[in-house]
């Protein structure tokens, strides 16, 4: 069976079966990274271009390693070193990249809309590595993979996503995905950080973290975007961490077996304390590890690999 | 010139009948039963099956000259207007330099007299440089030919300046046109704020950003007893505020754009920057309220908010592209579309672009009364056509209506009895 999607723009467009296909296949790709020779010839001769118009450490490295472990050729371009900085429109830049015949473009971009347009215009595969406040589908997939790996199932899980939901593409993609696989989601934030119309998302919304802590199987903390503080979404970091930070006291009140997640980068001391980030419940580094495997799966599927579930 | 057998629709005189109309020396000489005999030697235009309408007054357009001639200029805007049945274009002050002094006003008027097929009437700025700080020379601009004042595009933030502006403008009988937007609330928004903006990942402009300023301006108008015209309202809430104010006897008038009557925020889904405007396209319930507002005579005028932008400016991310779409050339066809889609009487819609803007701005025209200037349109109500980029007379082509089907087409446009469309 062929994978029906040329591109991955968002989790919104995937069915729950497709999400499970990705998660199931990821298991075997994860094994490759544990070998002594971490490379298979699957994508030999394929070219993957990484266009990163926003700073990224994890996602970019993760995609690059994923492509390389599948033997694809990769090249990465970031905004500061590209002609984007010289005023070339991104569409022109993308078309120039296309003229060099890549098989796949992985793109991170600060605004919504472009990734969708590229997917419609360019013949190669487009994988969204995060676009504005829209979606970050590979993050949600690696999050779901990690939850399932730790907790055995996704169905019926209670996942609390805490923090700046308003500006979070990670939250949006996770909400789409978790709803599709039958998990329950609670979004926790002060009202200023909840998106307009969140009541139509079909998830629980809470403004207090404490009552949610003992209920959740997963507590996913989102980064507080320090650069947005000037817009006065909350008074200061002290008050924020008092009400919405994950600290030792709250970790102790978590359900047995419940886990702590964070998409990174963390602001230790703001949304999460050292105790919490480094506690035994934390699966933050597992998320990173799984990120490579999930991205291997997606590159493989997007570049024409067969859907293969054992 | 004897125009024979057309359906004359003239809301100013409650006229809607098949009749002949005689034009002499640029004026309407008389209206006659169509059975009568045509004087010998008179040029005859057969208008059977056609509608003969007063030339449209578009009370809100951006002509972009001086300063942004790469987007549009007085000549190209005039051509677009003539092709859309618009014989009077009221142009906003956000040019470069800003039309905040009589020299710029005179430049526009002289240039228009030289190159424009249609009447171009400038609006002066309320404050110098549209900065919202110091009142502009309204009296001198009035003498130079401005027909109103407005800080469109950059609304006056300071309520005290707005109050003085109303009082001072009324000294010179200058209507004040207000673009109502609280720019702090609108923030970096680029579309209507709501579930859809959250889903698309685009920052939103809440309805309340408009409504809070509509409230302020209506209150100031009531307090100062100076009329105010609120332009391009887009929300149900704005209309409710205006409706209440009208009931209280406050002299507030308003206009809406054809695109807010025809489109909703759903159009933004494809991230086409031609659907990015300010105020943004709103929800279906807002559009419905505006339509009812027209039916109930709460909406006084319809204006295009013609806002040309060059392709390279619009060819950016939705977050970054400038606001606005062109609309002069599609004004009359859009009214027909509204008429057909929403079953509003055509004469009622026509009043919103003829009699009513003439009244609000105190302009001559907008009528087919005997003795009036012969600004007229002959309109074929049944012609079916689709808008293509090649048809657009404006220098800029930014409209989401490209590819859209329309019924009803402008056949001929006259300004003071002279044919200005089609071009010879």
Candidate from B194, B206, B318 with C-beta closest to A111? B318
**What percent of chain A lies above the pLDDT cut of 90?**
83
Burial B389-404 (b: 16+ CB within 10 A, else e): eeebbbbbbbbbbbee
Asked if residue A79 has pLDDT above 90, the reply is no
Q: How many domains does chain A have?
A: 2
Candidate from A89, A91, A196 with C-beta closest to B204? A196
Q: In sequence order, which residues have a C-beta less than 8 Å from that of residue B114 and are 6 or more positions away?
A: none
Q: Residue B149: is it exposed, middle or buried by C-beta count within 10 angstroms (0-12/13-18/19+)?
A: buried
- State whether B200 and A198 contact (CB < 8 Å): no
Q: Which residues of A touch B185 (CB under 8 A)?
A: none
> A219: how many CB neighbours lie within 10 A of its CB?
29
Please report, for residues B7, B100, B352, B414, the alpha-carbon distance to residue B18 in angstroms, rounded to integers and kept in the order given: 4, 46, 22, 19
Note whether A208 and A124 are same-domain residues: no
Interstrand relation of B119-124 and B148-150 (parallel, antiparallel or unpaired): parallel
Look up B305 and say whether it is catalytic.
yes
**pLDDT 10s digits, B239-277:** 999 999 999 999 999 999 999 999 999 999 999 999 999
Note whether A222 and A116 are same-domain residues: no
What whole-number distance in Å separates Cα of residue A268 and Cα of residue A251?
Answer: 15
Q: Which residues of A touch B267 (CB under 8 A)?
A: none
| Residues A208 and A249: beta-carbon distance below 8 Å | no
Give the CATH number, domain containing residue A144.
3.40.50.1370
Nearest CA-CA partner of B357 in B135, B57, B6: B57
Bond preceding residue A265 cis, omega within 30 of 0: yes
Establish if A128 belongs to a structural domain: yes
Candidate from B195, B196, B201 with C-beta closest to A132? B201
What whole-number distance in Å separates Cα of residue A136 and Cα of residue A110?
Answer: 12
Q: Looking at CA atoms only, how far is residue A146 from chain B in angstroms? A: 25
Mean pLDDT, residues A130-150: 97
| Residues B294 and B349: beta-carbon distance below 8 Å | yes
Domain span at residue A275? 137-283
Asked if residue B337 has pLDDT above 90, the reply is yes
Candidate from A90, A113, A196 with C-beta closest to B318? A113
Q: Which residues of A touch B316 (CB under 8 A)?
A: 89
- φ and ψ at A46, to 5 degrees? -95, 150
Provide the pLDDT for residue B284.
98
- Report chain B's mean pLDDT, rounded to a whole number: 96
pLDDT band at A94 (very low <50, low <70, confident <90, very high): confident
| Residues B210 and B242: beta-carbon distance below 8 Å | no
What whole-number distance in Å separates Cα of residue B10 and Cα of residue B372?
Answer: 12
- State whether A172 and B201 contact (CB < 8 Å): yes
- State whether B196 and A197 contact (CB < 8 Å): yes
Asked if residue A230 has pLDDT above 80, the reply is no
- Give, as one character, the DSSP assignment of residue B413: E
Provide the pLDDT for residue A14.
97
Asked if residue B415 has pLDDT above 80, the reply is yes
Note whether A147 and A279 are same-domain residues: yes
Note whether A121 and A259 are same-domain residues: no
- State whether A197 and B195 contact (CB < 8 Å): yes
- The full set of domains in chain B, from first to last, is 2-51+373-421 (2.30.40.10), 55-361 (3.20.20.140)
Establish if A278 belongs to a structural domain: yes
- State whether A116 and B271 contact (CB < 8 Å): yes
Q: Looking at CA atoms only, how far is residue B181 from chain A in angstroms? A: 19
Note whether A211 and A176 are same-domain residues: yes
pLDDT band at B35 (very low <50, low <70, confident <90, very high): confident
Q: Looking at CA atoms only, how far is residue B329 from chain A in angstroms? A: 29
- State whether A196 and B200 contact (CB < 8 Å): no
Mean pLDDT, residues A172-194: 97
Establish if A96 belongs to a structural domain: yes
- Chain A interface, best mutation among B188, B189, B196, B199, by max A CB count within 10 A: B199
- State whether B198 and A113 contact (CB < 8 Å): no
Please report, for residues B22, B121, B300, B378, B381, the alpha-carbon distance to residue B374 in angstroms, rounded to integers and kept in the order given: 9, 17, 23, 12, 21
Q: Looking at CA atoms only, how far is residue B16 from chain A in angstroms? A: 47
Q: Which residues of A touch B194 (CB under 8 A)?
A: 196-197
What whole-number distance in Å separates Cα of residue A282 and Cα of residue B56?
Answer: 68
**What percent of chain A lies above the pLDDT cut of 70?**
95
**pLDDT 10s digits, B133-170:** 999 999 999 999 999 999 998 899 999 999 999 999 99
Note whether A90 and A205 are same-domain residues: no
- State whether A89 and B316 contact (CB < 8 Å): yes
Provide the pLDDT for residue A87.
62
Candidate from B194, B271, B320 with C-beta closest to A197? B194
Q: Residue A208: is it exposed, middle or buried by C-beta count within 10 angstroms (0-12/13-18/19+)?
A: exposed
Note whether A209 and A264 are same-domain residues: yes
What whole-number distance in Å separates Cα of residue B136 and Cα of residue B151?
Answer: 10
- State whether A195 and B198 contact (CB < 8 Å): yes
- State whether B202 and A195 contact (CB < 8 Å): no
Identify any residues that bridge with A282 across adjacent strands, giving them in sequence order: A260
Quick one: which H or E segment has residue B376?
A: strand B376-386
pLDDT band at B231 (very low <50, low <70, confident <90, very high): very high
Q: Looking at CA atoms only, how far is residue A62 from chain B in angstroms? A: 24
pLDDT band at A309 (very low <50, low <70, confident <90, very high): low
Establish if A308 belongs to a structural domain: no
The residue in chain A having the minimum alpha-carbon distance to the alpha carbon of residue B188 is: A231
Q: Which residues of A touch B320 (CB under 8 A)?
A: 111
Establish if A199 belongs to a structural domain: yes
Establish if A121 belongs to a structural domain: yes
- Chain A interface, best mutation among B191, B194, B198, B268, by max A CB count within 10 A: B198
Mapped onto helix, strand or coil, the DSSP state of residue B253 is strand
Q: Residue A61: is it exposed, middle or buried by C-beta count within 10 angstroms (0-12/13-18/19+)?
A: middle
Q: What is the CA radius of gyration of chain B?
A: 21
CA A67-A73-A76 angle, to 5 degrees, is 80
Note whether A182 and A119 are same-domain residues: no
Q: Looking at CA atoms only, how far is residue A257 from chain B in angstroms? A: 33
Q: Looking at CA atoms only, how far is residue B159 from chain A in angstroms? A: 23
| Residues B318 and B273: beta-carbon distance below 8 Å | yes
Provide the pLDDT for residue A225.
73
Residues of A with CB under 8 A from a CB of B: 89-91, 111-114, 116-117, 131-135, 169, 172, 195-198, 200, 231
Mapped onto helix, strand or coil, the DSSP state of residue A269 is coil
| Residues B211 and A122: beta-carbon distance below 8 Å | no
pLDDT band at A27 (very low <50, low <70, confident <90, very high): very high
pLDDT band at A308 (very low <50, low <70, confident <90, very high): low
Asked if residue A63 has pLDDT above 70, the reply is yes
**What percent of chain B lies above the pLDDT cut of 90?**
96
Handedness of CA A146, A118, A77, B312 (dihedral sign): negative
> A33: how many CB neighbours lie within 10 A of its CB?
16
Interstrand relation of B2-10 and B15-24 (parallel, antiparallel or unpaired): antiparallel
Mean pLDDT, residues B124-131: 97
Q: Which residues of A touch B319 (CB under 8 A)?
A: 111-113, 132
Interstrand relation of B376-386 and B405-415 (parallel, antiparallel or unpaired): antiparallel
- Give, as one character, the DSSP assignment of residue B127: B
Please report, for residues A99, A166, B384, the alpha-carbon distance to residue A268 in angstroms, rounded to integers and kept in the order given: 43, 21, 65
What whole-number distance in Å separates Cα of residue A250 and Cα of residue A270?
Answer: 14
pLDDT band at B305 (very low <50, low <70, confident <90, very high): very high
Cβ pairs A/B, distance under 8 A: 56
Note whether A141 and A94 are same-domain residues: no
Establish if A34 belongs to a structural domain: yes
Establish if A28 belongs to a structural domain: yes
Choose, from B152, B300, B305, B375, the residue flagged as catalytic: B305
- State whether A197 and B315 contact (CB < 8 Å): no
Note whether A272 and A161 are same-domain residues: yes
Give the residue ranges of DSSP H helices in A100-234.
114-121, 137-151, 169-180
**pLDDT 10s digits, B161-219:** 999 999 999 999 999 999 999 999 999 999 999 999 999 999 999 999 999 999 999 99
| Residues A275 and A247: beta-carbon distance below 8 Å | yes
Residues of B with CB under 8 A from a CB of A: 187, 193-204, 206, 271, 312, 315-320
Note whether A145 and A276 are same-domain residues: yes
The residue in chain A having the minimum alpha-carbon distance to the alpha carbon of residue B269 is: A113
Note whether A52 and A116 are same-domain residues: yes
CA B164-B168-B170 angle, to 5 degrees, is 120
Provide the edge-to-edge strand list for the sheet that holds A158-162: A204-206, A184-188, A158-162, A218-221, A259-261
Interstrand relation of B2-10 and B51-54 (parallel, antiparallel or unpaired): parallel
């Amino acid at each position: 069976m062929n994978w029906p999607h040329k591109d991955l723009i968002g989790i919104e467009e995937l069915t729950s079966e497709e999400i499970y296909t990705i998660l199931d296949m990821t298991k075997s790709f994860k094994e490759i990274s544990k070998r002594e020779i971490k490379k298979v010839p699957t994508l030999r001769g394929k070219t993957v271009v990484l266009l990163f118009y926003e700073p990224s450490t994890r996602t970019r490295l993760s995609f690059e390693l994923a492509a390389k472990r599948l033997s694809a050729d990769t090249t990465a371009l970031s905004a500061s070193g590209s002609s984007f900085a010289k005023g070339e429109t991104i569409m022109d830049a993308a078309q120039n990249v296309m003229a060099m015949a890549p098989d796949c473009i992985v793109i991170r971009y600060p605004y919504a809309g472009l990734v969708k347009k590229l997917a419609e215009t360019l013949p190669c595969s487009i994988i969204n590595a995060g676009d504005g406040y829209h979606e970050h589908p590979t993050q949600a997939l690696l999050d779901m993979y990690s939850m399932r790996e730790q907790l055995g199932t996704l169905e019926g899980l209670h996942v609390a996503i805490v923090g700046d939901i308003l500006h979070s593409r990670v939250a949006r993609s996770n909400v789409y995905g978790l709803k599709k696989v039958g998990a329950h989601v609670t979004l926790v934030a002060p009202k200023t950080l909840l998106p307009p119309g969140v009541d139509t998302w079909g998830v629980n919304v809470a403004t207090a973290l404490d009552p949610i802590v003992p209920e959740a199987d997963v507590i996913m903390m989102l980064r507080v975007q320090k650069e947005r503080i000037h817009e006065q979404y909350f008074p200061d970091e002290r008050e924020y961490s008092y009400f919405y930070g994950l600290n030792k006291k709250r970790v102790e009140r978590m359900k047995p077996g419940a886990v702590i997640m964070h998409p990174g980068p963390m602001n230790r001391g703001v949304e999460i304390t050292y105790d919490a980030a480094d506690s035994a419940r934390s699966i933050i580094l597992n998320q990173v590890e799984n990120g490579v495997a999930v991205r291997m799966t997606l590159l493989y599927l997007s570049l024409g690999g067969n859907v293969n579930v054992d | 010139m004897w125009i024979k057998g057309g359906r004359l629709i003239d809301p100013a005189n409650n006229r809607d009948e098949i009749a002949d109309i005689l034009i002499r020396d640029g004026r309407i000489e008389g209206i006659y039963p169509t059975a009568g005999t045509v004087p010998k030697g008179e040029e005859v235009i057969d208008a059977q099956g056609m509608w003969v309408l007063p030339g449209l007054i578009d009370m809100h357009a951006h002509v972009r000259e001086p300063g942004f001639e790469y987007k549009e200029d007085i000549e190209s805007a005039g051509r677009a207007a003539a092709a859309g049945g618009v014989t009077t274009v009221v142009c906003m002050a956000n040019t470069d330099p800003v039309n905040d002094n009589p020299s710029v006003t005179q430049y526009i008027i002289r240039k228009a007299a030289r190159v424009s097929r249609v009447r171009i009437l400038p609006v002066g700025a309320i404050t110098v440089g549209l900065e919202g700080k110091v009142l502009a020379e309204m009296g001198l601009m009035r003498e130079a030919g401005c027909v109103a004042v407005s800080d469109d595009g950059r609304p006056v933030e300071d309520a005290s300046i707005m109050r003085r502006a109303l009082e001072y403008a009324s000294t010179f009988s200058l209507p004040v046109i207000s673009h109502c937007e609280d720019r702090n609330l609108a923030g970096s928004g680029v579309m209507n704020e709501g579930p859809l903006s959250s889903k698309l990942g685009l920052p939103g402009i809440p309805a309340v950003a408009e409504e809070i300023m509509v409230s302020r301006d209506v209150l100031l108008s009531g307090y100062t007893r100076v009329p105010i015209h609120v332009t391009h309202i887009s929300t149900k809430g704005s209309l409710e505020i205006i409706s209440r104010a009208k009931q209280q006897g406050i002299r507030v008038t308003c206009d809406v754009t054809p695109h807010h009557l025809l489109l909703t925020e759903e159009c933004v889904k494809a991230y086409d920057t031609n659907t990015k405007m300010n105020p943004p396209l709103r929800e279906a319930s807002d559009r419905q309220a505006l339509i009812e507002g027209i039916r109930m005579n709460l909406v006084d005028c319809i204006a295009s908010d013609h806002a040309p932008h060059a392709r390279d400016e619009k060819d950016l991310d939705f977050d970054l592209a400038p606001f606005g779409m062109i609309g002069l050339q599609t004004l009359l066809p859009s009214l027909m579309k509204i008429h057909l889609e929403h079953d509003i009487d055509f004469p009622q819609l026509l009043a919103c672009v003829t009699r009513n803007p003439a009244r609000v701005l105190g302009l001559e025209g907008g009528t087919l009364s005997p003795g009036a200037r012969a600004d007229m349109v002959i309109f074929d109500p049944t012609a079916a056509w689709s808008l293509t980029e090649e048809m657009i007379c404006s220098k800029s082509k930014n409209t989401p209506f490209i590819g859209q089907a329309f019924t009803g087409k402008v056949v001929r446009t006259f300004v003071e009895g002279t044919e200005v469309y089609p071009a010879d």
